[in-house]
Amino acid sequence: MRKYSIAAVLALAYCLIASLAYSEAGNERKPVPPLDMARLHNELSLVRGKVKAEGPWPRQIRYTLNVYDFKTDEFRREAKTFVVKKKPLRIIPHAVGVAEILWAICPRERLIAFNEFAADPESSFIADKVRVRGPIFKSKQTELVIGYRPDLVFTVFYSSADFKEKLGQAKIPSFDLGYFGTIESIKEQILLMGDIIGEEGNASALVKLIDTRIRELKAKLPRRNRPIRVLYYDEGGYVPGTSSNFNSICRIIGAVNVGAEQGIKSWSQIDYETLLKWNPDVIVVPGRSKLKELLMSNRVLTHARAIKNGSVYYVPSVYLRVESQFMLLSADYLAGIIYRQPRKQL
């Protein structure tokens, strides 16, 4: 009898759950991803590269911080310097994407607590493992985080100012990773985190793995005269644009993110008339919502291409919210949806 590792079994179970969630969402057409989802999930969950000689501590980290201005919908890059006094051995990630990256490149015993969303299967690709390992804290439980006595907390642009201020008052070292949502910025942050925690070899290996699997995925995609135009339509009519993770997912698989095509930068709200005017080939909506039924039954959208062809698909939310190396898993999943369309529809 062939034996499988526990990690492989858990990865397979996760993909089966995701597939079930897709079916439960009411979409009969199951995705056929080009790459093996279970294997890919397993590979991206634990990466070990060449061990590098331990650098001196303290160390000075020079990096570029991506800052998003909500008022102007613009990004700016700021040169920064961060001093790490000693090798962090008690680390807390304050965001799902950060937790997923650290889970892959950092020895697990150095991760001492996790945000509640990292334990939510609709938000996290490592939710099952986080729930087993724990402990888990809520986003606003700053006192609890301080009580864990971390020597480094990773925050992001949406970590609250109050949370960051209280960490500072308690003299808890923290590092703000700023904004990252594109595959390019995610790779930059992986390397940056590797430098900060002293796991440069593992970080480099993860970036190399991402690049390798992206090339393999692209090689398996069908050649087309015209790229498939895909619209991600979220609750409230919001669609993502150029700087979104969804745009990176589409670029990886050679599809057009209609929101970016129409000039949206981050996120923007559109009405049904605009959706009809843009007329995408495929529309994807978050699983466990009622958006497919609402779009399919709307009179304004009767003549929209995706509506007429029944090309509106539920996608489990975890694939749409991804901000880590698992973006590659999302790209594989989306490719399994859009490239299984009948030729006559596109």
For the stretch 296-324, pLDDT in tens is: 999 999 999 999 999 999 999 999 999 99
Question: Contact at 8 Å (CB) between 334 and 315?
Answer: yes
Is beta strand 74-84 parallel, antiparallel or unpaired with respect to 91-93?
unpaired
Tell me, yes or no, whether 192 and 237 share the same domain.
Answer: no
CATH value at residue 123: 3.40.50.1980
Which DSSP string corresponds to 247-271?
HHHHHHTT-EEHHHHTT-SSEEE--
Which pLDDT band, with edges at 50, 70 and 90, does 55 fall under?
confident
Long-range CB pairs of 79-83 (<8 Å, 24+ gap) are: 82/175, 82/196, 83/58, 83/59
pLDDT higher than threshold 80 for residue 258 = yes
Residue owning tokens 């880590």: 324
Which of 236, 223, 206 lies closest to 327, judged by CA? Answer: 206
The number of domains in the chain is: 2
Whether 160 is covered by a domain: the verdict is: yes
Residues 295, 254 within the same domain: yes
Radius of gyration of the chain (CA): 21
Domain containing residue 264: 6-38+223-345
Q: What is the pLDDT of residue 70?
A: 64
Shared domain for 286 and 338, answered yes or no, is: yes
Residue 294 lies in a domain: yes
Same domain, 333 and 232: yes
Q: Residue 4: what pLDDT?
A: 46
Q: Mean per-residue pLDDT for 257-271?
A: 95
Does residue 133 belong to any structural domain of this protein?
yes
For residue 21, the number of C-alpha atoms closer than 13 Å in the C-beta half-sphere is 18
Q: Look at residue 180 in the predicted model and tell me its pLDDT.
A: 79
Element (H, E) at 39: helix 37-45
Say how far apart CA 119 and CA 313 lie, in whole Å: 26
Decide if 203 is inside a domain.
Answer: no
Q: Per the domain annotation, does 207 fall within a domain?
A: no
Is residue 175 located within the same domain as residue 258? no
Co-location of 235 and 341 in the same domain? yes
Within-domain flag for 51: no
Same structural domain, 261 and 180: no
Is the per-residue pLDDT at 14 higher than 90?
A: no
Residues 170 and 228 in one domain: no
Q: Is residue 259 part of a domain?
A: yes
End-to-end Cα, the chain, rounded Å: 45
CA geometry: angle 152, 155, 159, nearest 5 deg: 140
**Which residues neighbour 17 within 8 Å (Cβ) at sequence distance 6 or greater?**
121
Considering only residues 256 and 56, tell me which one the structure prediction assigns the higher pLDDT.
Answer: 256
Least confident of 54-58, 147-151, 313-317: 54-58
